[in-house]
Amino acid sequence: MHILVTGGAGYIGSHATRMLLDLGYQVTVIDNLSTGYKDAVDKRATFYEEDIHHTENLTTILRKEQIDVVIHFAAFSLVGESMTKPLKYYENNVSGTASLLKSMVDAQVKNIVFSSTAAVYGDQKVMPITEEILPNPTNTYGATKLAMEEMMKWTSIAHNINYVSLRYFNVAGAHHSSEIGESHNPETHLIPIILQVPLKERDAISIFGTDYDTFDGTCIRDYIHIEDLIDAHIKAMIYLVNGGKSDVFNLGSGSGYSVRQIIEAAEFVTNQTIKTKEEAKRAGDPAKLIASSDKAKNILKWEVKHPKVEDIISSAWAFHQSHKGGFSQ
């Protein structure tokens, strides 16, 4: 089976590429390298430096490589930036996906697994969050991902394309080889930022908000290991190829950890004291996000193999120690 990975030079796409190749699948990667790194792309994959907006080029690649399934990661994903530059997010995420789907229709590629986000849910009161809860995004990033899901739905009806949309909670950690991992510039995610302190790249970790309505006043999130996340994509892909119907699934570990608990776990993993400073809340942060992933477990037969945050942080720590400053190109 031949899979096209869009955004395969990014954090999540590079792990998908690596794990698909390790399982014996053929992989073609397209990435415009606007935020991804060529060094993160497995050399065994066929690589095209290409933008998803170039519909005709995409159609040519889909036909030439005889692609069976698309796994679509190419998108901008910074919540804060999405609020100050909403049109950049609509242009890249929504228009880019329209172009990709058009090329799939033209080349008659019938299956797509798509990277969505817990940000589609917004601020919810009932935990854990199931797929039944009505999405209500509180930021442009989540709104664009929801628009992309809707686009998949209507396109699937009109053009007989099957999709699985995977709504990720907080993805973290690195591949067990430590050869690839999370490398964003700028970095905004909690775990890699915490690890910058023991790496001596930062003096202290800022805790954004200490008076949330949670047991220790800091935000609670559901952290999922990157390898568990990719495993779900592979299961979703097999589900579609075997005739499974289009659907939406949450992906999380099902346990919540506060910001302070993550810092403590990082101290344990790195065996170092991590200096903290308390700062104002970050705009738009919900107090608590915990997933119910029962649907993915039941239908995709997916299971979480790395539920412990210490294991997630430990894999990230191994990557960052061997890739100080991240990827260079």
CB of residue 150 vs ligand UFG: minimum separation in angstroms? 17
* Active site annotation includes 141: yes
271-300 binders of ligand UFG (CB under 6 A): 282, 285, 289
Work out which of 74, 195, 219, 290 binds ligand UFG, going by CB under 6 A: 219
> Cis peptide leading into 86, omega within 30 of 0?
no
Q: Which residue is nearest to ligand UFG (CB)?
A: 219
Does residue 259 interact with ligand UFG by CB under 6 A? yes
Query: Binding to ligand UFG by residue 115, rule CB under 6 A?
Result: no
**Residue 212 or 239: which CB sits closer to ligand UFG?**
212
Q: Which of 221, 235, 295, 306 binds ligand UFG (CB under 6 A)?
A: 221
Q: What residues pair up with 114 in beta bridges, in sequence order?
A: 72, 165
State the minimum distance, in angstroms, from the CB of residue 116 to ligand UFG.
10
Q: Binding to ligand UFG by residue 193, rule CB under 6 A? A: yes
306 vs 297: CA distance, rounded Å: 14
Task: Kindly identify the residues of this chain, within the stretch 138-177, that bind ligand UFG according to CB under 6 A.
Answer: 141, 170
Q: Which is nearer to ligand UFG, 17 or 117 (CB)?
A: 117
Q: Whose Cβ is closer to ligand UFG: residue 285's or residue 310's?
A: 285
Catalytic residue among 141, 168, 212, 257: 141
Q: How far is the CB of 88 from ligand UFG (least distance, A)?
A: 15
Stretch that binds ligand UFG, among 16-24, 103-111, 173-181, 200-208 (CB under 6 A): 200-208
Residues in contact with ligand UFG, counted by CB under 6 A, come to a total of 21
Which one of residues 9, 62, 195, 207 is an interface residue with ligand UFG (CB under 6 A)?
207
Task: Point out which residues bind ligand UFG (CB under 6 A).
Answer: 77, 79, 117-119, 141, 170, 188-190, 193, 205-208, 219, 221, 259, 282, 285, 289
Residues labelled catalytic: 141
